Every structure is written in C-alpha cells, then in structure tokens.
Amino acid sequence: MKDKGITEDRLVLLKGVSGAFRPGVLTALMGVSGAGKTTLMDVLAGRKTGGYIEGDINISGYPKNQETFARIAGYCEQNDIHSPHVTVYESLVYSAWLRLSPDVDSEARQMFVEQVMELVELTSLRGALVGLPGVNGLSTEQRKRLTIAVELVANPSIIFMDEPTSGLDARAAAIVMRAVRNTVDTGRTVVCTIHQPSIDIFEAFDEVNCSKDKEIV
C-alpha cells in the first residue's frame, strides 16, 4: 500500500510526555477517562508490546533494559485476581516461591512473607480463605491489599498500581491507601493511576502528574 502512495496513519496514544518518579515518593497519575493514564503506566512497565514507542526511559540515569527492569518492578492490576481456594498466607508463599530468585533460601522467603503481611496489615487474616468476590471470603478492600502484598513478596523496587481505590467506599479506600503509604515508606518508588479521588485520598499523594488529551499538563 505504501508503494501506491498511501501513507501510514498512526493512532497516537501518548505525546510529549516527560517526568520523573523518585524512591520514597508516592506519585499519582490523574486525568479523565481516556486521558492516557494507564497507557503511560503500561508503557513504563513494559506491558505494551504492540505499536511504536518513541523516546527514552531511564532508570537511575541508565537506559531501561526490560529484562532487568522486570525483575525489580511490580504491577498491581485494577482487577484483583486470586485463587479462591487458598488462604492469604498460602497466596503469598506461592507468589514468593514463583517470583523470588532461586538463590533466596526458604528462611528468607518466609521472612519476606511475614514482613509483607505486617506491612499491609494482613497478619490477622493469614488463615482466611480468599474466596470469591462478592460471595465469600475477603472483602474488596482486603483483596486490594492482598494484590499489593502478592507483588511485594517479590521485593520490587518500583511498583505500579492501576487505580488501587477503585470501587471502594471512603473508609475502605483509606485503609488501602494506608497500605500503599506503608509501602512507600520502605523507600520504594510507587506510581498509581487515580480517578476522581476524595480530598483525603488526594492529599495522601506526594506528587501528582495530570494528563489531558494524551499529554502530561
């Protein structure tokens, strides 16, 4: 088709984006639906495999290598997908055995699991069955914290969270944000997309990047 003079028309999802995320700083990506928040986060996390990505992504001043980056980054989906037939503790142990390096011994894995449960305040629920959403087991807010914990047991330095307070009432959202803040206070870099936050949730963030029409404004 190019030989016949038909030009390629690319759909632009992001343009003119620049910024930086720092360790120990909780950053929000805000914007209306379709503004490109999740797209930007997916590009940074290396989850976009199709299309064209132009520009530079640097980690600590060095060009990003996706294979290396994947080992130090975690991603919390908006939808909490967990096996309903295992306990909170078993979910975390399973993730730790899958995600941690083979060089990490059993004792260290166990230590990571215990530390993470305490960090996101799930210790009291360690023996609770995850269950099915809206049917039995954990509440929506508890499942959100479990999603964060499943990523944390891999000991990532950078964590991306896609709308961690989506679908929660004010009280439940505050509990989840406390877990997020605890994560940031360990020195990790945490980036969250957020949509229509309450004033309390908004004030929990250290920095805010607003997107509009596929650009950071």
In SS3 terms, the chain reads as: CHHHCCCCCCCCCCCCCCCCCCCCCEEEEECCCCCCHHHHHHHHHCCCCCCCCCCCCEECCEECCHHHHHHHEEEECCCCCCCCCCEHHHHHHHHHHHHCCCCCCHHHHHHHHHHHHHHCCCHHHCCCECCCCCCCCCCHHHHHHHHHHHHHCCCCCEEEEECCCCCCCHHHHHHHHHHHHHHHCCCCEEEEEECCCCHHHHHCCCEEEEEECCEEC
- pLDDT at 94 (0 to 100): 93
Both tokens of 161, joined, read 């969270």
C-alpha to C-alpha distance for 180 and 31, rounded to whole angstroms: 20
Q: Which CATH number goes with the domain that contains 141? A: 3.40.50.300
User: For tokens 């980054």, what's the residue?
Assistant: 73
pLDDT for 51 equals 78
User: Can you give the pLDDT at residue 212?
Assistant: 77
156 touches 76 (CB < 8 A): no
pLDDT along the chain (217 residues), means of 10: 61 82 94 82 84 86 88 90 94 92 89 94 94 88 95 94 90 94 95 89 92 73
What integer pLDDT is reported at residue 49 of this predicted model?
73
Q: Copy the structure tokens of residue 131.
A: 């269950």
Boundaries of domain holding 35: 2-216
Looking at residue 67, its pLDDT comes to 86
Q: What is the pTM of this model?
A: 0.87
Report CA-CA distances (Å) from 110 to 24, 31, 90.
25, 39, 11
Distance spanning both ends of the chain, measured CA to CA:
37
Give how many domains the chain has, as a whole number.
1
Residues with Cβ within 8 Å of 5's Cβ and at least 6 positions away in sequence, in order, are none
Residues with Cβ within 8 Å of residue 194, at least 6 apart in sequence: 28, 29, 30, 163, 165, 201, 202, 205
Q: How many CB atoms lie within 10 A of CB 95?
A: 22
